[in-house]
Chains A and B, each alone.
Chain A
Amino acid sequence: MIPLFAEALLMALGGFAVGLLIAYLVALRRRSQL
């Protein structure tokens, strides 16, 4: 079993990565619209 803090850390990291991806895609869309 993964320790609890590692589990939480992974979840946070995943969330962060998804957020980053969303921002990147939004920026990409905006740039192509310019």
Chain B
Amino acid sequence: MAELLDTYWPIILIALVIGIIVGILVFRPRQRVRLTESAPVRPHMAHQPDETVLGHEASVTTKHVLGAEGPPGGAGPGDDLERLKGVGPKLAAMLVAHGVTRFEQIAKLTDSEVERLDADLGAFRGRLQRDRVVEQAEYLARGDVDGFEQRFGKL
């Protein structure tokens, strides 16, 4: 045994150092975050029993952006807002969160309402004007797919 150690001590030493380095990397203490039910709940995180969180957010934000209520005509099943050119899943979700779920609502937005809504769209600011979303929505609200496709391209 002593003979082996005598012969291979440089190799053993190098392996030892490598082992320690690897061990330190593997076993280093990590910051552990524990999520518990007893975490303090902030007012906006409070559970809303009657409505979904998104629904609640939508109504709150709608009131904030568009006054007392959202644009009229929001009731009933929503349209697929992603059919509008320039509106992807994220922007569509944002619009829904602002109480805008139907093409009809977008079509009926006044210029000032569009501006107010636009100011709240963060990274998508200016998108409504640039992609003429209101104009697109007018076509789709009427169900004028041919007219839409002529102006904006295939759906």
Please give the residue numbers on chain A whose beta carbons come within 8 Å of chain B beta carbons, in ascending order.
Answer: 7-8, 11-24, 26-28, 30-31, 34
| Complex A-B, nearest 10 residue pairs according to Cβ-Cβ distance, in ascending order | A19-B19, A23-B23, A15-B15, A27-B27, A15-B12, A16-B19, A11-B8, A12-B15, A19-B20, A15-B16
**Chief secondary structure at chain A's binding surface:** helix
> Is B24 on the interface with A (CB-CB < 8 A)?
yes
Tier of interface size on chain B: 20 to 34
Name the A residues within 8 Å of B155 (CB-CB): none
Residues A20 and B19 in contact, CB atoms below 8 Å apart: yes
Name the A residues within 8 Å of B29 (CB-CB): 27, 30-31, 34
Residues A11 and B4 in contact, CB atoms below 8 Å apart: yes
Of residues 17 to 33 in B, which have CB atoms within 8 Å of A's CB atoms? Answer: 17-24, 26-29
CA distance A17 to B21 in the complex (A): 12
Name the B residues within 8 Å of A16 (CB-CB): 15-16, 18-19, 22
Q: Please give me the residue from chain A that is nearest to B15 by CB atom.
A: A15
Q: Please give me the residue from chain B that is nearest to A13 by CB atom.
A: B15
> Is B123 on the interface with A (CB-CB < 8 A)?
no
Q: Which of A12, A23, A31 is the one whose CB lies under 8 Å from B22?
A: A23
Name the A residues within 8 Å of B15 (CB-CB): 11-16, 19
CB distance from B2 to the nearest CB of A (A): 13
CA distance A12 to B5 in the complex (A): 11
Residues A22 and B8 in contact, CB atoms below 8 Å apart: no
Residues A19 and B22 in contact, CB atoms below 8 Å apart: yes
